[in-house]
Amino acid sequence: MAGGYVDCHCHMTAEEFSQDIADILERSRKGGVQALVSVTEHAGELESLLHLSERYPHYIMPCFGVHPIQSKADGYRSVTLQDLEAALQQFEKIKDHLVGIGEIGLDFTPWFTPTAKEREEQLKVFQVQLDVAKQMDLPVNVHSRSAGRQTIAFLKEQGADKVLLHNFAGRPSAALEGVQVGYFFSFPPAVANNDQREKLIRQIPLENICLETDSPALGPIRQERNIPSNIFISCEYIARVKGLSPDKVCEVTAHNAFRLFPKMRHKLNE
Binding residues for a divalent metal cation: 9, 11, 103, 143, 166, 214
Task: Say what angle helices 246-260 and 262-269 make with each other, to 10 degrees.
Answer: 100
Q: Are 235 and 32 in contact, with CB atoms under 8 Å apart?
A: no
Which of 64, 59, 69 is CA-nearest to residue 7?
A: 59
- 173 burial (CB, 10 Å; 0-12 / 13-18 / 19+) is exposed
Which residue ranges make up the annotated binding site?
9, 11, 103, 143, 166, 214
Q: Are 24 and 227 in contact, with CB atoms under 8 Å apart?
A: yes
Q: Are 10 and 63 in contact, with CB atoms under 8 Å apart?
A: no
Q: CA-to-CA distance for 47 and 9, rounded, in angstroms? A: 18
Q: Are 268 and 35 in contact, with CB atoms under 8 Å apart?
A: yes
Phi, psi of 182 (to 5 degrees): 90, 20
Dihedral, 158, 160, 161, 165 alpha carbons, nearest 10: -120
Residue 243, strand partner residues: none
